[in-house]
Amino acid sequence: MTVARKKKRQQDTAEPESTTGADAWAEAVRQEQIEAIDESSPANAKTVKWRKRYRLAVWSAVIGLPLVSIADIAMVSALMNPNYGQTQSSEYNQVSSVGKSAAYLELEDWLANEPAPLPGATILSWDGYDTAAQDSNVAQTVLQQWGERDYSIEIHHFTLAGSSGVNYAADVTVAVDQYGQSEVIGTPTALPVAPSSTGWSNDGAWMNVIDVTAGESVDEAVSNWAKAYTSGDSATLRLAVGDGDASHTYMALSGVDAVKATIVRSGYVAETDGKTVTNKQENPSTIIAQLKLQITWSGQDAKEVESKGVTQSMDVLITGADTASPKVVAWGAVGTGPTLKAGDNAITGRQIKEKTTSPSTSASPSPSATSSPTMSAGASPSESSTPESTAQPQTETPTTGGE
């Protein structure tokens, strides 16, 4: 009985002598399932997380280390460059040059000669220069014949005004070496410039503007603005402009006895779709106008100023042109009308106060008054010489600073 049980136990525990392929595959799957980690298990959650972090760190090192090495090599190479951190200067500069002063002085001396090479001619402007240098790839035979130049050539251009009304284009040639030394070559050359042709006309400085006729209210508004503009009083000018921002101030002309404003042209800026005007208006609310101001300064004869017709031209922007109370809200040079905007002339960040003259006739004004004499609009010469006793030039900008 005991022997039979032992044989049966040995048969149960003995491994089979042979298995089929399907049995082997099933056994492998069973073992993999046994060894696989259950990621949903709280006990295995940390293990799975640390394995992911480890793989990420390994891949970061594999990819990042070569990039860091390349960056380090580039940085070392840049630091070893003697020109590192220096701004490279442009090879050609139209604003200034080594030979500019030498050329200017040479031209002045040349014009001052007696007898003069160009009687009555004066220098109007310096108009830049051109450079010429020897080609480094020039043939050796040329170098042997002419020699190798270690300098460059600057040809400086000037405009001269002649006494007879003819302008001249003058050139001065200067040799400049690598050490900044310069030397004029030869004497200046002056060629007459052809005058502008006559008999042609233009349509003025405004582009894309449709002309309209200014009404009487616009004429009156322009006249009132001109008086405020020449009043010497910032507050008066701000009220005339109608600027409601208390932080804005305006600079007015001072020392004016009288002013006359005349509208030369008025219109509004056209808007188009590329072919036709899309904002045609018979009575636009916003227009621009070109003015002529005839200003009589203190001490001038008004009749003489009026008879000679000396004027100052400017463009102005007018709002409310279709109402009974238009306002001039901006002004500028002739041609700026189409781009003017309300508030363009407003001054911010500075307080401008009207200076009042002291009633005292003492010949010993206070130190602060001595340093900042002022004159209000329309003051007589005796009043204008009276110093300002309350001036604070270090904190305020006077309206009568000789504008």
DSSP 144-183: HHH----EEEEEEEEEEE-TTS-EEEEEEEEEEETTS-EE
Does residue 317 lie in a domain region? Answer: yes
218 and 318 in contact (C-beta within 8 Å)? yes
Same domain, 323 and 219: yes
Q: Tell me, what's the pLDDT at 178?
A: 81
Cα separations in angstroms, 77 against 64, 73, 83, 124: 20, 6, 11, 51
Cα separations in angstroms, 251 against 23, 123, 232, 357: 103, 34, 8, 19
**pLDDT of 341 higher than 90:** yes
Domain final position from 339, 363, 392: 339
Q: Tell me, what's the pLDDT at 30?
A: 64
pLDDT grade, residue 403 (50/70/90)?
A: very low
Per-residue pLDDT tens digits for 36-49:
555 555 555 556 56
Same domain, 242 and 292: yes
Q: Tell me, what's the pLDDT at 88?
A: 40
Same domain, 232 and 318: yes
Per-residue pLDDT tens digits for 252-284:
999 999 999 999 999 999 888 877 888 888 899
With a CB cutoff of 8 Å and minimum separation 6, the contacts of 291 are 222, 226, 261, 262, 263, 264, 313, 314, 315, 316
Same domain, 222 and 310: yes
pLDDT grade, residue 330 (50/70/90)?
A: very high
Domain final position from 310, 339, 368: 339
Q: Is 228 helix (H, G, I), strand (E, B) or coil?
A: helix
Nearest to 330 by CA among 262, 338, 154: 338
Does residue 17 lie in a domain region? Answer: no
Residue with the larger pLDDT of the pair 353 and 316: 316
Tell me what percent of the residues of the chain surpass a pLDDT of 90. Answer: 42
Does residue 401 lie in a domain region? Answer: yes
Domain count, the chain: 3
Helices 234-241 and 216-229, packing angle to 10 deg: 160
Does residue 166 lie in a domain region? Answer: yes
Nearest to 104 by CA among 158, 160, 35: 158
Same domain, 141 and 228: no
Does residue 88 lie in a domain region? Answer: no
Same domain, 187 and 216: no
Which range of residues forms the domain containing residue 150? Answer: 100-192
Same domain, 222 and 312: yes
Measured between alpha carbons, how far is 363 from 359 in angstroms, rounded to an integer? 12
Residue 132 belongs to domain with CATH number:
3.10.450
Same domain, 360 and 330: no
What is the mean pLDDT of the segment spanning 57-71? 77
Same domain, 360 and 326: no
Does residue 280 lie in a domain region? Answer: yes
Domain final position from 339, 361, 376: 339
Per-residue pLDDT tens digits for 282-304:
899 999 999 999 999 999 998 89
Q: Is 209 helix (H, G, I), strand (E, B) or coil?
A: strand
Q: Tell me, what's the pLDDT at 44?
A: 54
Measured between alpha carbons, how far is 232 from 375 in angstroms, rounded to an integer? 9
Measured between alpha carbons, how far is 373 from 42 in angstroms, rounded to an integer? 90
Cα separations in angstroms, 365 against 15, 311, 373, 376: 127, 38, 10, 18
Same domain, 254 and 277: yes
Same domain, 364 and 393: yes
Does residue 328 lie in a domain region? Answer: yes
Same domain, 164 and 260: no
For 85, left (φ over 0), alpha (ψ -120 to 50), or beta?
left
**pLDDT of 3 higher than 70:** no
pTM over 0.75: no
Does residue 77 lie in a domain region? Answer: no
**pLDDT of 210 higher than 60:** yes
